[in-house]
Amino acid sequence: MKRTAIASVHVGTGGWVYKPWRGAFYPPDLPQKRELEYASSRLTSIEINSTFHGTQKPASFEKWYAGTPAGFIFSVKGPMFATNRRVLAEAGESIDRFFDSGVLLLRDKLGPINWQLGPAKRFDAVDVEAFMAMLPRTLEGRNLSHAIEVRHAGFDVPAFRALAARYGIAIVHAADSKFPTISDSAAPFVYARLMGTSARWKAGYSPAQLKAWAARAQTWARSGREVFIYFISGCKERNPAAAMALISRLSTAGTG
């Protein structure tokens, strides 16, 4: 399948293991162990969600690296043990354990790390800054990129945007959902999570909606930033189709 012609835009889904995709996105006779291989041949990125729920083994990261094509990018969700807590400043041990689990074995396929805060977490400038300061910018000679996803409207303030800019952290663009969408023009890259796929449309979104998202992606890319777009939640059965439809539109656009 033709991959996106806009090299700085990476499009995919949240995760790749989802039973209803078997026989719909995945061929019915495809062995489950080959699902990542299949998905990565049609998408240009995937957000790993399993790291949010529990510690993964080094062998898993090595297998994921080996099972995907050159140029493929994984974004990785930071662990909930670090982010779903009352005091973020106390997350240091969980952050260290996460990076010790083998994340760097994704090597050149490691993209941004998404730190998703719980919906009850309110903005506390001191606590949030303490958390941001703990996120490593480099490890073992490799530069790391971080994004922070918030789910409380109290974060939609200049002080939060200023903190993110100061630490070079992108604010996740949470779209088509009940969560706040916070503008973040100062981010070093764009990290968007689209949550509005619908069973009404074969590709999850209408042609007009996909056209609009393709235009946004092109605008972000033209600003010189790398762009990561993931279809999650919504009608999950439609998310692979939505990602492939957006990749197709970007390929047709052919700008880079």
For residue range 79-119, list pLDDT tens digits in order. 999 999 999 999 999 999 999 999 999 999 999 999 999 99
User: pLDDT digits over 166-203, tens only?
Assistant: 999 999 999 999 999 998 888 899 999 999 999 999 99
CB atoms within 10 A of CB 209: 20
* Mean per-residue pLDDT over the chain, rounded: 94
With bands split at pLDDT 50, 70 and 90, how would you rate the model's confidence at 155? very high
Task: Give the helix ranges, DSSP H, for the chain.
Answer: 35-40, 50-53, 58-66, 80-83, 92-100, 125-134, 158-167, 207-222, 239-253
**Three-state DSSP class for residue 169:** coil
For the 9-253 domain, the top CATH level (class) is alpha beta
Would you state the torsion angle of the CA atoms of residues 84, 87, 89, 91, taken in this order, to the nearest 10 degrees?
Answer: -40
The pTM assigned to this predicted structure is 0.95
CB atoms within 10 A of CB 121: 20
- 201: alpha, beta or left, given left = phi > 0 and alpha = psi -120 to 50? beta
Q: Give 185's DSSP letter.
A: T
As a whole number of angstroms, the distance between CA 230 and CA 86 comes to: 28
Count of H-run helices and E-run strands, the chain: 9, 11
